[in-house]
Amino acid sequence: MIAKDSVLQKGLPKTTQSLCPECKKVVPARIYESDGKVLMDKECPEHGKVTDIYWSDVDLFLKAERYAYDASE
């Protein structure tokens, strides 16, 4: 296995995709910092907007992001 730098966007805010907690459909999501936490907003056309705590510590999240790598075979 060869590790290479991740192509995923790093830093905050950023956009991604997530799942609606009700119907499990893939929906657009926004990840951002608020009051020292990392939050995720997502909105399902059927079930509305949901805000979740993604990480409880923004500094730890940003530190962990530095270690994100993509693996290939």
- Per-residue pLDDT at 7: 79
Domain definitions of the chain by residue range: 14-65
Percent of the chain with pLDDT over 90: 75
The upper half-sphere exposure of residue 21, i.e. CA atoms within 13 Å in the direction of its Cβ, equals 8
- Better-scored residue on pLDDT, 43 or 6: 43
Question: For 46-73, what is the mean pLDDT?
Answer: 90
- pLDDT at site 1: 61
Q: Is 31 exposed, middle or buried (0-12, 13-18, 19+ CB in 10 A)?
A: buried
Cross-strand bridge partners of residue 61 = none
Identify the H or E element spanning 70: strand 69-72
Record the pTM.
0.84
pLDDT of residue 63: 95
Counting residues of the chain whose pLDDT is more than 70, the rounded percentage is: 93
Length of the chain: 73
| CB-CB neighbours of 18 under 10 Å | 20
